[in-house]
């Protein structure tokens, strides 16, 4: 029996199947954690989504929501300002069972905690000022919105925007929800109080000491007691330090798809076959 954390798929279904074969993955005994961004930009988003959904429904996998998964929910609810030319979501949106897929997706969490080990997973990161139990409760606030009957309205009018950059315990309303979404699904850099910087997307420059650092490298970080797995940051590459593990090794960009084995702490990778190289990074 083995458990693997799999990095951002973004529609790279062929690579996922090839990697699972390489791992000698056994669906009956092994468990998969998907770090989010299951869909978009790559060639086979529908196949990826259906695969993860089937396994999750059989209690053989879990996933967290990434910014591209949110993007799919937004596209479905008719938020056209977020639809871009590089999207590859049409096959899902036009599928006869689209509603079934979307309803399942919006019931997935933003954060997961291992049943008995000090291990957690999010798509992008956890701000330094949040403990693990605080982070779980904040994730729940957004999950409640997504699972409510008015989720489409929330996503169309309230969930997206880069205005909510600073956290405080008293932050309330939609600004609070937006900050939580931005932190879990989009963050790379922030300051030691959790103020988000969306401009930088590349890997950190060790010679440059600025107030915005990778979310995981702040010395005052309150969630260091858990090993945190995340995806999202493809330019960071494979990093195992600070008690964090990055898993997006840029399969979509001609890099590799990663599976990290929780039992023996080994990384397994598969080189991207498609070399899809979409134009825009997000």
Which residues bind to Mn ion, rule: CB under 5 A?
A: 37, 66-67, 232
**Beta carbon nearer to Mn ion, 45 or 67:** 67
**Beta carbon nearer to Mn ion, 22 or 236:** 236
Min dist CB 231 to Mn ion, Å, is 6
**Beta carbon nearer to Mn ion, 208 or 280:** 280
**Beta carbon nearer to Mn ion, 37 or 87:** 37
256, with CB counted inside 10 A (0-12, 13-18, 19+), is buried
**Beta carbon nearer to Mn ion, 67 or 258:** 67
**Beta carbon nearer to Mn ion, 38 or 132:** 38
Min dist CB 15 to Mn ion, Å, is 17
Min dist CB 67 to Mn ion, Å, is 4
Min dist CB 246 to Mn ion, Å, is 12
**Beta carbon nearer to Mn ion, 37 or 256:** 37
Residue number with the smallest Cβ distance to Mn ion? 232
Whole-angstrom distance, CA of residue 248 vs CA of residue 259: 10
DSSP code string of the chain: --EEEE---TT-HHHHHHHHHHTT--TTT-EEEE-S--SSSSS-HHHHHHHHHHHHHTTSEEE---HHHHHHHHHHTT-GGG--TT---HHHHTSTTHHHHHHHHTTS-SEEE-SSSSEEEESS---TT--HHHHHHHHHHHHHHHTSTTHHHHHHHTS--S------TT--HHHHHHHHHHHHHH-SEE-TT--EE-S--S---TT---S-EEGGG-TT-TTTTSEEEE---GGG-S-EETTEEE---BGGGTSEEEEEETTTTEEEEEE-SS----S---
Min dist CB 68 to Mn ion, Å, is 6
Min dist CB 66 to Mn ion, Å, is 4
Whole-angstrom distance, CA of residue 69 vs CA of residue 59: 20
Min dist CB 89 to Mn ion, Å, is 14
């Amino acid at each position: 029996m083995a458990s693997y954390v799999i990095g951002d798929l973004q529609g790279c279904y062929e690579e996922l199947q090839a990697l699972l074969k390489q791992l000698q993955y056994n669906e009956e005994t092994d468990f998969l954690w998907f770090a989010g961004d299951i869909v978009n930009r790559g060639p086979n988003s529908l196949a990826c989504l259906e695969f993860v959904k089937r396994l999750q429904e059989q209690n053989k996998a879990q996933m967290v929501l990434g910014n591209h998964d949110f993007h799919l929910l937004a596209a479905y609810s008719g938020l056209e300002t977020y639809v871009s030319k590089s999207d590859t979501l049409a096959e899902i949106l036009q599928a006869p069972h689209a509603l079934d897929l979307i309803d399942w997706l919006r019931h997935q969490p933003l954060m997961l905690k291992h049943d008995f080990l000090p291990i957690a997973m999010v798509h992008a990161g956890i701000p330094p000022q949040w403990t693990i139990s605080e982070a779980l409760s904040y994730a729940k606030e957004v999950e409640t919105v997504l699972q409510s009957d008015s989720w489409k309205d929330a996503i169309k009018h309230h969930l997206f925007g880069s205005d909510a950059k600073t956290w405080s315990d008293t932050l309330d309303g939609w600004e609070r929800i937006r900050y939580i979404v931005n932190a879990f699904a989009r963050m790379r850099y922030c300051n030691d109080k959790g103020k988000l910087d969306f401009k930088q997307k590349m890997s950190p420059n060790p010679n440059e000491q600025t107030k915005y650092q990778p979310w995981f490298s702040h010395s005052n970080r309150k969630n260091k007691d858990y090993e945190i797995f995340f995806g999202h940051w493809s330019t960071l590459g494979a990093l195992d330090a600070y008690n964090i593990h990055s898993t997006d090794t840029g399969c979509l960009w001609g890099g590799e798809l990663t599976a990290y084995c929780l039992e023996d702490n080994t990384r397994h990778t598969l080189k991207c076959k498609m070399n899809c190289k979409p134009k825009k990074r997000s």
